[in-house]
Amino acid sequence: MLMETTSGLFFSLVPLIVFLPVIGLLINITFGGRLGEKVVGTIASLAVGGAFSVSLLLAYSLSVHHEAVIVPFAEWIHIGTLKLDWAFRVDTLSVLMMLVVSGVGMLIHIYAIGYMHEDVRFKGDVKRFRRFFVFLNLFIAMMMILVSGDSYMMLFVGWEGVGLCSFLLIGFWYDMDTLGRPSFANSNAAKKAFITNRVGDFGFILAAFIMFWAFGSFQFDQVFAKVPEIAVTAPWVIVAVTLLMVVGVAGKSAQIPLFVWLPDAMAGPTPVSALIHAATMVTAGVYLIVRSAPLFSVNHSVQYFVATLGAATALFAATIAAGQYDIKKVLAYSTISQLGFMVAAAGMGAYVAATFHLATHAFFKALLFLDAGSIILGMERGHHHLAHHNPHGAGAGGHEEHEGAHEEVFDPGDMRNMGGLRDKMKMSYWLYLIGALALAGIFPLAGFWSKDEILLDAYKNFPIVYWMLVVAAFFTAFYMGRQIWMVFFGKPRTEVAAHAVESPKVMTIPLMILASLSIIGGFLNMATILGFTLPGSHLLTVWLGHTLGEVEAGELNLIVAGLSTIFAVAAIYFSWLIYGRNPLAAGQPDPLKKPLGPVFFGMEHKWFIDEAYQFLFINPYRSASKFLADKVDWAFWHDWFHDKVIAGGYNWISKVLLNEYVDQRGIDAFANGVGSGTKRLSTMMRVWQNGYVRTYALTVLVGVVAILGYLLLK
């Protein structure tokens, strides 16, 4: 419904945000084989850049015309009372998401040109370069459908689409593991992500069914308009819909209990981890909750549940992150933890804070992941350099303990193999530091503002959640500090680390942009400081207020902000005490291992969640499927029902019933009876055919006389 007031604005351009990436991927599919790597990467980046420009135009249009604009695009499904169209919803929330997705997406595309150039060579399959960008563009298109759809079903199309892209990209090197050895590890990780997400999607679908049953529509406005009425007549419907949605959110946004796929998803190339598994796709769940704000705001206990779930995830994942050694695994658990923050905020009804943190997190987590990728590649470059010069000494550089563990393949992502990289990779070091400080929530970087807003809201309304989040924030600062000390400080623990090489400009420039966004991102929605409202504060609050309704503008609470800053600084200090003051020596176990004992053992092993799931779900599932396959399917259905009942019954019917009784004794007997009856009759009548013409003549005569006699005497 384009109204008069929108003339001169750019709302009608909105389909381009989906179709530009689609065009990009089509070009790359069709001609990419003949184009060089640079051209393929440029086309893909330009496609996303185009989508970003369109998003900017939309943002400008919205700054003039605040109301949501719905741009119908195509008829989709019309069955009975179900009327589903592909319509784009342009409002402040969706445009913010578009900006984040296409903006961060574009930077990651550019970075990926440099990253994949080397990655495909290290892995030894140059042809996959093009495929990567096709998948990446497809992902952007799907993510755009997700955030721009005007109904839950359109959102679901995008939701499934990004899930598919996630699967494709986690399993990008499907025939090897992250170190390039032939293995099913990556494809198994992809399957794990996909299947875990199916569990969540199941919840989403059920929520959608109930929604259609109760609300009679999937369209956002129509659903929300009915919420007050349904909340009175059938409150349980809203509880069911929201809780089932939370199942979907737990799957997509990696919350307890479905978060297990995200750490494994790090098997994908690093740009994928940054784009899909940190900045955009995993925030789809948060977007869903924020989008469904009218539904979630109705029921306080659901809100409480969601907030607690998010806070529990935040805390739980943060403890695991502190015990990991793989640089990307730390970031993965950190992402889960930060998603927990967002979900908690969305659950508490602090939708602006959740969205704010979503955006800032997209900046600094993408930065951290991409930088981690740059570091890993730097290590790999060092590894290749050494392998080239000294084929035998490439492993752990003469350290006996390491030699044993790593003599086969060197893991460039293991922080224990790093150390002292700050001199070798200066740019990566500074960028990583900015990202880490932003994530830790140090003033005045982006993470400080957004995390503080969440904490403030929790402090006011949900004290338990607040304390959980504060502890999680403490852990966040701690594990980021630990990472910085382990990776960049001290002496190189391996020869490889000593020969690490900085990444090219095409990779570091997007990182610089992301770093500056991580620094200034907080000014998107600065809080009022000591009653002082700086110009430009509360930008996001006002902006999202057009969609979410009036939201209370956040004020910097000195207690909350001070406490979280103290905690963050203290955590970094602790990490310095443990990892910075006495840098880890090569082969030395984690210094926390001894004092914490079993606790660290649990953190290191992810609290055995995977093992617990293996024991609780997968093994029973396996034995159940084995039982079903061997006993029910094979023994019962195949051997008994199919062979005995169906085949045997069919045999009996065909052999005995139809053959013996119907065919032989029925049809055959009838046919034979006709034959033999005719034969018997002819034997009987043969007597009359004596061959004497005179006899025949007499017969004729007698016949004629008889007929005439009858006619005459009648």
Partner 1 sequence: MVPVSYYLVISGILFALGAAGVMIRRNALVVFMSVELMLNAGNLAFVAFARMHNTYSGQLFVFFVMTVAAAEVAVGLALIVTIFRTKNSINVDQMNSLKG
User: Stretches 312-320, 633-641, 663-671, 681-689: which one binds partner 1 (CB under 8 A)?
Assistant: 681-689
- Nearest alpha carbon to residue 497 among 401, 402, 593: 402
Coil vs helix vs strand at 183: coil
Decide whether 657 or 698 has the Cβ nearer to partner 1. 698
CA 213 – CA 565 distance, rounded (Å)? 48
x-or-dash pattern for partner 1, window 557-586, by CB under 8 A? Answer: ------------------------------
Three-state SS across 435-486? HHHHHHCCCCCHHHHHHHHHHHHHHHHCHHHHHHHHHHHHHHHHHHHHHHHH
Decide whether 126 or 700 has the Cβ nearer to partner 1. 700
Contact of 285 with 248, CB cutoff 8 Å: yes
Decide whether 388 or 686 has the Cβ nearer to partner 1. 686
User: Stretches 502-510, 551-559, 669-677, 695-703: which one binds partner 1 (CB under 8 A)?
Assistant: 695-703
**Distances in Å between the alpha carbon of 611 and those of 260, 614, 618?**
11, 5, 9
Shortest reach from residue 701's CB to partner 1, in Å: 6
How many DSSP H helices and E strands does the chain contain?
31, 2
Please tell me whether residue 706 binds partner 1 under the rule CB under 8 A: no
Q: Which of 126, 409, 698, 706 binds partner 1 (CB under 8 A)?
A: 698
What one-character DSSP code corresponds to residue 617? Answer: I
Decide whether 74 or 693 has the Cβ nearer to partner 1. 693
Q: Which of 34, 694, 711, 714 binds partner 1 (CB under 8 A)?
A: 694
Please tell me whether residue 684 binds partner 1 under the rule CB under 8 A: no
Cα 502-183-397 angle, rounded to 5 deg: 40
CA 668 – CA 654 distance, rounded (Å)? 15
User: Stretches 301-309, 438-446, 671-679, 687-695: which one binds partner 1 (CB under 8 A)?
Assistant: 687-695
Q: Which of 301, 686, 711, 712 binds partner 1 (CB under 8 A)?
A: 686
- In this structure, which amino acid lies at residue 202? F
* Phi and psi, residue 3, nearest 5°: -95, 170
Decide whether 7 or 695 has the Cβ nearer to partner 1. 695
CA 713 – CA 562 distance, rounded (Å)? 138
Decide whether 558 or 698 has the Cβ nearer to partner 1. 698
CA 553 – CA 353 distance, rounded (Å)? 10
Q: Which of 684, 693, 712, 713 binds partner 1 (CB under 8 A)?
A: 693
Q: Which residues contact 666 (CB under 8 A, 6 or more apart)?
A: none
CA 412 – CA 180 distance, rounded (Å)? 11
Decide whether 651 or 689 has the Cβ nearer to partner 1. 689
User: Stretches 362-370, 408-416, 467-475, 682-690: which one binds partner 1 (CB under 8 A)?
Assistant: 682-690
- Nearest alpha carbon to residue 340 among 303, 295, 307, 368: 307
Please tell me whether residue 697 binds partner 1 under the rule CB under 8 A: yes
- In this structure, which amino acid lies at residue 34? R
Left, alpha or beta for 125 (phi > 0: left; psi -120 to 50: alpha)? beta
Please tell me whether residue 678 binds partner 1 under the rule CB under 8 A: no
Shortest reach from residue 706's CB to partner 1, in Å: 14
Please tell me whether residue 711 binds partner 1 under the rule CB under 8 A: no
Decide whether 79 or 685 has the Cβ nearer to partner 1. 685
Decide whether 618 or 707 has the Cβ nearer to partner 1. 707
Decide whether 674 or 697 has the Cβ nearer to partner 1. 697
Please tell me whether residue 701 binds partner 1 under the rule CB under 8 A: yes
Decide whether 34 or 694 has the Cβ nearer to partner 1. 694
Q: How many residues bind partner 1 (CB under 8 A)?
A: 11
Q: Which residues contact 442 (CB under 8 A, 6 or more apart)?
A: 448, 477, 565, 568, 569
Contact of 341 with 282, CB cutoff 8 Å: no
CA 573 – CA 477 distance, rounded (Å)? 9
Coil vs helix vs strand at 595: helix
CA 182 – CA 124 distance, rounded (Å)? 12
- In this structure, which amino acid lies at residue 215? F
Please tell me whether residue 691 binds partner 1 under the rule CB under 8 A: yes
x-or-dash pattern for partner 1, window 65-84, by CB under 8 A? Answer: --------------------
Decide whether 529 or 697 has the Cβ nearer to partner 1. 697
Could you give the angle at which helices 426-440 and 446-461 cross, rounded to 10 degrees?
20
Please tell me whether residue 594 binds partner 1 under the rule CB under 8 A: no
Shortest reach from residue 709's CB to partner 1, in Å: 15
Q: Which of 640, 689, 707, 708 binds partner 1 (CB under 8 A)?
A: 689
Please tell me whether residue 681 binds partner 1 under the rule CB under 8 A: no
Please tell me whether residue 692 binds partner 1 under the rule CB under 8 A: yes
Q: Which of 598, 690, 712, 714 binds partner 1 (CB under 8 A)?
A: 690
Shortest reach from residue 691's CB to partner 1, in Å: 3
Q: Which residues bind partner 1 (CB under 8 A)?
A: 682, 686, 689-694, 697-698, 701
